[in-house]
Amino acid sequence: MKKLIWGGVIGGVILIIAAFLLGRFAFPNTLPGLPAPEVAEGQRGELGIDKNVNEETIDAYLGRSDAVYRDVRMLEDPGNYEAIGGDSYLSGFVRGFELVPFPYIVNVSGLPDEVGQTYTGKTLYHQHSDGSYTPNYKESLSILEGLFPKDKIIFLMCGGGGYSGMLKNMLVALGWDEDKIYDVGGYWYYGGDNNVDVKRVDDNGQIVYDFYKVPVHEIDFEKLTEN
């Protein structure tokens, strides 16, 4: 009788393992309730924006316990984003996203001529002309891993899709799993039900930005150790 019981247990375990491996190899890039990352076509694809998980569909993927949501704009970007139909001051964000300014992570290049130059101060990393990255501080990697955990799905958003695409490329180059990172695209094109307005007009007709509403991850460069 004991042999029969143990035989059944072992057989069940084998079936579970086989089912797991079958699913693993049959669907290697899928995550529960998520399509595999797939870059869009055309100009949006050049920015790296995802075809399926983007500004139009992100509401369906909010609130996941296995994910982090990062908006990589600045509260006040020195670049002239109004010149390309956006905003340099953060006017709003999608509920659930937390701000981690991309220009604080690495030096930015390749912006449209109309935008001009963004922030040029201290950054966690320096990107070289060959596309490689060098940490500027001993804590740079640990900070990056804390802000963008490797064991989580990572949803990235910015204003138009440029910063988020650049950051995805950087993370992948530094060892992150590209199949767990989604470039959602740009807040400027978001029309869902989870918008949080930051920009408003007060009683005197003046434009006001309620930045207190925005969850921001600050980087205190003065407390870091330079390499």
Higher pLDDT, 93 or 18: 93
Q: 225 forms bridges with which residues in the sheet?
A: none
Q: How far is C-alpha 180 from the geometric centre of its chain's CA atoms?
A: 10
CB-based contact 93:71 (threshold 8 Å): yes
Separation CA 208–CA 200 (nearest Å): 5
Going by C-alpha positions, the residue among 87, 97, 117, 79 that lies closest to residue 209 is 87
pLDDT tens digits for range 27-82: 344 566 899 999 999 999 999 999 999 999 999 999 999 999 999 999 999 999 99
CATH class of 33-223: alpha beta
Higher pLDDT, 43 or 8: 43
Going by C-alpha positions, the residue among 102, 104, 100, 74 that lies closest to residue 89 is 74
pLDDT tens digits for range 93-115: 999 999 999 999 999 988 889 99
For the chain, list the strands marked E by DSSP: 67-71, 92-94, 98-99, 125-127, 133-135, 153-158, 181-186, 195-197, 199-201, 207-209
DSSP state of 36: P
Question: What pLDDT does residue 20 have?
Answer: 39
For the whole model, what pTM was predicted? Answer: 0.84
Separation CA 88–CA 198 (nearest Å): 13
pLDDT tens digits for range 129-142: 999 999 999 999 99
**Domain map (residue ranges) of the chain:** 1-30, 33-223
Separation CA 227–CA 216 (nearest Å): 26
Separation CA 192–CA 189 (nearest Å): 9
